[in-house]
Amino acid sequence: MGRIDELLASALAEGRDCIGQIALRTRSEGGYRLTHRDDVGRDDLRVSQTPESAREIATYDDAGVYRPLKTAPNLRHGWALHLPDLAAVRAALEYFYPAALALWLAERDGRLQPTAMRETLGRQTGMYRVTGLLTDPQAEALVGELCAQTRCLRAMRWTKTPGGERIASLPATKFDPEHDPAGAGARVMPLLCAEMCNLVVAEARPVVKAAQAAAAAAASPAPAAAG
Amino acid sequence: MASLQRKPGTGLLLVGHGSTQNPDSSPPTHVHADEIRRRGLFDEVACCFWKEEPSMREARHVFEAREVYVVPNFISEGYFTQTVIPRELELSGPRSTRADGTIWKYCEPAGNHSSMTDLLLRRAREIAPELPEEEISLLIVGHGTGLNDNSAVAAKAQAARIAERSRYAEVISCYMEEPPLVANWDELTTAPNVVVVPFFIADGLHSYQDIPVLLGMESEPTAAASQRAVFRHEPRRLRGRNLYYASAIGTEPGFADVILDLVAAFDDKHGTH
């Protein structure tokens, strides 16, 4: 058994039976049952029995819309996964919350070194190089919106500068791995965010571009009206 | 085709582009990973993506193996394979040794490999199995242009290799955004039947939505491939020809063998230690 499997086993043994929006329960017949946390008591769920089924479940929300961010709080309802062992559970969780257990293990080992926002933006190239010009107030507004618990369930581990301050526009719970992001106070396996993700970096580009365009417009005289 | 031996203590990481818009971008990479996992050649097989999770940065943490082969699931050398992937995965060359002692081996992308030629030939034959090659013009469609994009070079090289190994009336590489343009497919070709194989990794925006419009098959982009109930029926009668349009080469099941060939090619070139 690998160390990530051991971590999963010990987490369940100590009662951490939720991860993100997923509830993980043992079955009386043996094996495990994964459902949406809202669906734990339901017996009318569509049951699948392979870890790979998680991929399709995780791809679309209740309305059938594509979910580009797996840690967004819009996991589909109405399904159950019955899996024979922890290896299958781990494989399924890789599709629901990719790399979440690996990041948690790395943090517990002291190996997870979160990357500060300035380092993430500073290493961008090509069309995203311009994001290095994102100002702190712009970052506070952007991250405060996109990374809010209502948009992403991860616990933020990175700061604005190396060893510096956290994003001030988010509540303290956003930075607490022990906080249940579903707000139910359950003991959870954490979803960690070790650095600003590429979805946010991509959204930083139009923010900087718009600010540059506004500054350029303010600096140059208004063009003469045609005709 | 691949004859790779089991590699104990070793992991394989497939790096795909992924998409925040299109659900059909990442599935081929996952499917190839499933197939390779099923064969049991590596202790661990994982995927990561530029625009989906896990990110390349996160993928640095998922392996317990001491050695990891990294295969970019990209058609050609270019900005992603030469700049983005090495930067995000902190690779310093073909072989990188991390502070924790793990060794990461960076393989080449699939597009230039000789086994890709076999795959393109197979796909071209699958879509028009009844027709003699002499009556077919074969078009290999790449992206072209872009930031340090060598997909056009790879498509051209593959077209030349296919022409040597087949009896097609002609084998032509053409592109979405640079001449020869796929939009002019009827002027580029002479045979009564035209087979078009998109030289792309997934049936994403380009191969499923943009190119059919350029070919004149659709008047406007359709829904994503996964959201259409029936794949297109071939051929279509268009501009006086029979037009056969294949799905992207990266969705071919045999692509898993190309990936394994890239690992074997790395060992041949750089040694196994």
Q: Can you give the pLDDT at residue B203?
A: 82
Q: Can you give the pLDDT at residue A153?
A: 98
Residue B114, pLDDT > 90, answer no
Residue B71, pLDDT > 70, answer yes
Residue B242 identity: N
**Dihedrals phi, psi of B230, to nearest 5 degrees:** -125, 130
Residue B229, pLDDT > 50, answer no
For residue range A175-208, list pLDDT tens digits in order: 999 999 988 999 999 999 999 999 999 999 999 9
Domains of chain A and any CATH numbers: 3-108 (3.30.1360.190), 117-215 (3.30.70)
Asked if the C-beta of B228 comes within 8 angstroms of chain A's C-beta atoms, the answer is: no
How many residues are recorded in chain A? 227
Percent of chain A topping pLDDT 70: 97
Instruction: List CB contacts (< 8 A) between A128 and chain B.
Output: none
Lowest mean pLDDT among B158-172, B183-197, B227-241, B255-269: B227-241
Check residue A188 and give left, alpha or beta (phi > 0: left; psi -120 to 50: alpha): beta
Residue B226, pLDDT > 90, answer no
Residue B205, pLDDT > 90, answer no
At B221, is the pLDDT very low, low, confident or very high (cuts 50, 70, 90)?
confident
Average confidence (pLDDT) over B48-71: 97
Q: Can you give the pLDDT at residue B110?
A: 85
- DSSP per-residue codes, chain B: ---PPPEEEEEEEEEE---SS-TTSSHHHHHHHHHHHHHT-EEEEEEEESSSSSBHHHHTTS--SSEEEEEE--SSSBHIIIIIHHHHHT--SSEEE-TTS-EEEEPPPGGGSHHHHHHHHHHHHHHSTTS-GGGEEEEEEE---STTB-HHHHHHHHHHHHHHHS--SEEEEEESSSSSBGGGHHHH--SSEEEEEE--SSSSIIIIIIHHHHHTS-SS--S-GGG-SSPPPS-EEETTEEEEEPPPGGGSTTHHHHHHHHHHHHHHHH---
Q: Can you give the pLDDT at residue B146?
A: 63
Residue in B closest to A202 by C-alpha:
B51
Q: Can you give the pLDDT at residue A224?
A: 59
Lowest mean pLDDT among A169-173, B44-48, B143-147, B234-238: B143-147
Identify which of B152, B128, B149, B148 has the alpha carbon closest to the alpha carbon of residue B138: B128
At A227, is the pLDDT very low, low, confident or very high (cuts 50, 70, 90)?
very low
Asked if the C-beta of B64 comes within 8 angstroms of chain A's C-beta atoms, the answer is: yes
**Dihedrals phi, psi of A171, to nearest 5 degrees:** -70, 160
How far does A207 lie from chain B, in Å, by closest CA? Answer: 18
- Spatial neighbors of A10 by CB under 8 A, at least 6 apart, are none
Average confidence (pLDDT) over B53-64: 96
- Spatial neighbors of A41 by CB under 8 A, at least 6 apart, are none
Domains of chain B and any CATH numbers: 7-110+253-270 (3.40.50.1400), 112-251 (3.40.50.1400)
Greater model confidence, B22 or A104: A104
Residue A225, pLDDT > 60, answer no
Average confidence (pLDDT) over B178-201: 94
- Spatial neighbors of B117 by CB under 8 A, at least 6 apart, are B158, B161, B162, B165
Greater model confidence, A112 or B271: A112
Residue B269, pLDDT > 70, answer yes
Q: Can you give the pLDDT at residue B4?
A: 86
Q: Are B96 and B232 in contact (CB under 8 A)?
A: no
Instruction: List CB contacts (< 8 A) between B64 and chain A.
Output: 2-4
At B230, is the pLDDT very low, low, confident or very high (cuts 50, 70, 90)?
very low
The residues on A that touch B, with CB distances below 8 Å, are 2-4, 52, 55, 59-60, 66, 68-71, 94, 97-99, 102-103, 105-106, 111-112, 115, 123, 125-127, 194-195, 197-199, 202
Average confidence (pLDDT) over B209-233: 72
For residue range A83-101, list pLDDT tens digits in order: 999 999 999 999 999 999 9
Q: Can you give the pLDDT at residue A160?
A: 98
Among the partner residues B20, B51, B58, nearest to A103 by beta-carbon distance = B58
For residue range B116-165, list pLDDT tens digits in order: 999 999 999 999 999 999 999 999 999 887 656 677 888 999 999 999 99
- Spatial neighbors of B96 by CB under 8 A, at least 6 apart, are B90, B103, B104, B106
Q: Are B189 and B146 in contact (CB under 8 A)?
A: no
Q: Can you give the pLDDT at residue A195?
A: 97
